[in-house]
Amino acid sequence: MNVVYSFHPSLSVEMPAAVAALLATVLQSPVAELAADLRYQQQHQPVQAWLAYIGEELVGCKLGYERKPGHYYSWLGGVHPDFRGQGIAAELMRQQHAWCREQGYQHIRTHTYNRWRAMLLLNLRHGFNIIGTMQGTRGLTIVLEKELAA
């Protein structure tokens, strides 16, 4: 299978539906809730998207936005269960971090939950440190941050 990756400096009008559908499968969350979150975030600041396709099918995504000057927030992402274990999530992360370095960001932060252990482990393997926890809407949220080398 040939995976094609694409970067989008902001989500286009037609993209959120496909991204929300993928994330609903990945995160086991209602598609309407995710679509509303995407629309809300886009109204407040640009959301960058790294997408992975096999043929015409969107199989993975990594979304993020500027948290504050010098700090980037890796917001949502994942790979469709049928396509996991092929390095797609790691490549999306690698591309996001490379872009962040090019843009001058010094830190990337992300949040996850213990139930998404594969994502937690991926983050740890790629240089994130657990810097804290906080109560989130779906339980205890694990806060991770990575310092980007110049």
Q: Which fold has domain 3-147?
A: Aminopeptidase (3.40.630)
Mean pLDDT of all residues in 103-127: 94
Mean pLDDT of all residues in 38-65: 93
Q: Which helix (H) or strand (E) holds 126?
A: none
Which pTM does this prediction carry? 0.93
What count of residues does the chain have?
150
Query: Average pLDDT, whole number, for the chain?
Result: 93
pLDDT at residue 150 in the model: 61
Cβ atoms of 80 and 59 within 8 Å: the answer is yes
Please, which contacts does 65-71 make with residues 24 or more away whose CB atoms are closer than 8 Å? 65/41, 66/105, 67/109, 70/104, 70/105, 70/106, 70/107, 71/105, 71/106, 71/107, 71/108, 71/109
**Domain locations in the chain as residue ranges:** 3-147
Strands 3-8 and 48-54, sheet pairing: antiparallel
**In the predicted structure, residue 130 carries a pLDDT above the cut 80:** yes
Mean pLDDT of all residues in 89-106: 97
